[in-house]
């Protein structure tokens, strides 16, 4: 009986190359197993990974003994028909090129689906969602006492002992760690100058990158210290490297990701020798759910406080508005884009009410979307130049969970 119920809760949809229609495959064909990358596929570049022949859509995710609690859509919570309709449309590529869509509600993973290049065991590129993970690494250092919440308001250079302040641009010595986390440093460097740095990375190793940035920036002023996307991540990673014992890479591996049982991931090295802080990580979709669970639980994982609740609250709060002029992933029901500590936030409207959402975002459609009021999480990976995931969450997923 349990097996029959499982089959009834799982729909496999065939994506036919060159056609917009979808055809249902039998449960026996998939045996209820999410698609896994072969050894050969795992070594391919992302763009060379073949599309799945059958989209995988599961309303009762399997307990893989990976630390995630699972449930069943429509039984534990949620409107099953609404979500399945959206999933079928995604399988038909009506909403761009999704690779996965997962939904967790009230602490349980209740929906899991993979499309196109998505595989359950294949870490997917995260793009700028990496920034959110870097923020959590800093929070972990605070939890372990290597830094404090008060340190966030201190000048960033106060943590760096191999820096020559005499060569700084005006005002650079006053840039705080919090300003780096909110990308309001005021640093302004031309694209040509950045290209020079990349072409000659030798002097940029370790703290040399911060030294070079602080020397070559235009003067830091109150006017320049407005939000500018991209300024800050490697500054924060440099502080992590100097604050924790050992290396930042080992710290992230052992004290953050390892604590959640995340071992299948990729985290590339920046040309200055430290872990990348703004992009170039890879995570599986289930690992993204783990990250979202950690944040939703105010920094706790399996009862252990990995990150201070106070840090999580600040990281996911709307410290500043960034404006709705160039919305990423949005649409008519998404507004009030804001920023915390490398975490975005928006208001998602359904009916006459708006729901605040904190989210990690990455280019081409990587999202961890957290809606605290509903205890709802949406995770998506994609390769779409104009993703609409936040809008789809507002107009197609929220209705399935709002009573």
In whole angstroms, how large is the CA radius of gyration of the chain? Answer: 22
**Residue range 143-154: average pLDDT?**
98
**Residue range 217-240: average pLDDT?**
96
Grade residue 31 by pLDDT with cuts at 50, 70 and 90. Answer: low
Q: Is the pLDDT of residue 120 over 60?
A: yes
Grade residue 7 by pLDDT with cuts at 50, 70 and 90. Answer: very low
Residue 326 pLDDT: 83
**Torsion, Cα of 292, 298, 299, 304 (10° steps):** -120
Residue 28 pLDDT: 37
Q: Is the pLDDT of residue 372 over 90?
A: yes
3-state SS, one letter per residue, for the chain: CHHHHHHHCEEEEEECCCCCCEEEECHHHHCCCCCCCCHHHHCCCHHHCCCCCEEEEECCCCCCCCCCCECCECCCECCHHHHHHHHHHHHCCECECEEEEEEEECCEEEEEEECCCCCCCCCEECCCHHHHHHHHHHHHHHHCCCCCHHHHHCEHHHHCCCCCHHHCCCCHHHCEHHHHHCCCCCCCCCHHHHHHHHHCCHHHCCCHHHHHHHHHCCCCCCCCCCCCCCCCHHHHHHHHHHHCCCCHHHHHHHHHHHHHCCCCEEECECCCCCECCCCCEEECHHHHHHHHHHHHCCCEECCEECCCHHHHHHHCCCCEECCCCCCCCCCCCEEEEEECCCCEEEEEEECCEEEEEEEEEECCCEEEEEEHHHCEEEEEEECCCCCCHHHHHHHHHHHHCCC
Residue 303 pLDDT: 96
Sign for the pseudo-dihedral over CA of 197, 203, 207, 211: negative
State pLDDT tens for residues 9-29: 443 333 333 333 333 333 334
2-127+286-400, CATH topology level: Beta-lactamase (3.40.710)
Q: Is the pLDDT of residue 349 over 70?
A: yes
Q: Is the pLDDT of residue 293 over 60?
A: yes
Phi, then psi, of 24 in degrees rounded to 5: -80, 135
Rounded distance, CA 381 to CA 100, Å? 5
State pLDDT tens for residues 162-173: 999 999 999 999
Grade residue 261 by pLDDT with cuts at 50, 70 and 90. Answer: very high
Per the prediction, the chain carries an average pLDDT of 92
Looking at the whole model, is its pTM more than 0.85?
yes
Q: Is the pLDDT of residue 105 over 60?
A: yes
Residue 4 pLDDT: 39
Of residues 371 and 6, more confidently modeled: 371
Nearest to 114 by CA among 384, 398, 365, 380: 380
CATH fold match for the domains 2-127+286-400 and 130-282: yes
Which region among 7-11, 280-284, 395-399 has the lowest average model confidence (pLDDT)?
A: 7-11
Q: Is the pLDDT of residue 37 over 60?
A: yes
Residues in the chain: 403
Q: Is the pLDDT of residue 65 over 50?
A: yes
CB burial string 119-129: b at 16+ within 10 A, e below: bbebbbbbbbb
CATH code given to domain 130-282: 3.40.710.10
Which region among 10-14, 101-105, 382-386 has the lowest average model confidence (pLDDT)?
A: 10-14
Per the structure block, which two tokens stand in for 214? Answer: 């602080």
Domain positions in the chain: 2-127+286-400, 130-282
């Amino acid at each position: 009986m349990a097996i029959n119920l499982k089959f009834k809760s799982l729909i496999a949809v065939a994506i036919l190359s060159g056609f917009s229609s979808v055809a249902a495959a039998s449960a026996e064909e998939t045996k209820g197993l999410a698609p896994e990358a072969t050894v050969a596929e795992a070594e391919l570049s992302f763009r060379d990974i073949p599309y799945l022949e059958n989209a995988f859509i599961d309303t009762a995710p399997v307990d893989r003994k990976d630390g995630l609690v699972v449930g069943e859509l429509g039984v534990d919570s949620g409107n099953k028909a609404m979500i399945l309709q959206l999933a079928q449309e995604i399988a038909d590529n009506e909403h761009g090129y999704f690779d996965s869509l997962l939904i967790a509600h009230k602490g349980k993973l209740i929906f899991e689906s993979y499309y196109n290049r998505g595989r359950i065991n294949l870490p997917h590129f995260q793009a700028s969602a990496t920034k959110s993970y870097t923020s959590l690494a800093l929070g972990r250092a605070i939890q372990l006492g290597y830094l404090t919440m008060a340190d966030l308001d201190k000048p960033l250079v106060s943590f760096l002992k191999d820096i020559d302040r005499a060569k700084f641009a005006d005002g650079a010595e006053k840039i705080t760690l919090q300003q780096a986390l909110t990308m309001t440093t005021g640093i302004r460097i031309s694209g040509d100058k950045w290209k020079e740095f990349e072409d000659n990375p030798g002097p940029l190793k370790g703290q040399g990158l911060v030294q070079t940035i602080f020397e070559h920036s235009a003067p830091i002023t109150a006017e320049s210290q407005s939000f500018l996307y991209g300024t800050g991540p490697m500054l924060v990673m440099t502080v992590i490297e100097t604050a924790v014992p050992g290396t930042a890479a080992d710290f992230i591996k052992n004290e953050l990701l390892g604590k959640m049982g995340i071992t299948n991931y990729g985290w590339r090295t920046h040309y200055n020798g430290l872990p990348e802080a703004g992009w170039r990580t890879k995570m599986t979709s289930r690992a993204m759910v783990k990250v979202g669970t950690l944040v939703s639980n105010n920094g706790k994982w399996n009862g252990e406080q990995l990150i201070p609740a106070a840090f999580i609250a600040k990281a996911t709060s709307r410290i500043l508005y960034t404006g709705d002029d160039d919305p990423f992933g949005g649409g008519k029901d998404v507004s009030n884009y804001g920023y915390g500590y490398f975490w975005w936030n928006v208001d998602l409207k359904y009916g006459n009410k708006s729901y605040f959402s904190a989210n990690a975002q990455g280019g081409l459609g990587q999202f961890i979307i957290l809606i605290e009021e509903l205890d709802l999480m949406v995770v998506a990976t994609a390769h779409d130049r104009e993703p609409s995931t936040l809008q789809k969450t507002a107009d197609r997923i929220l209705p399935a969970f709002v009573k």
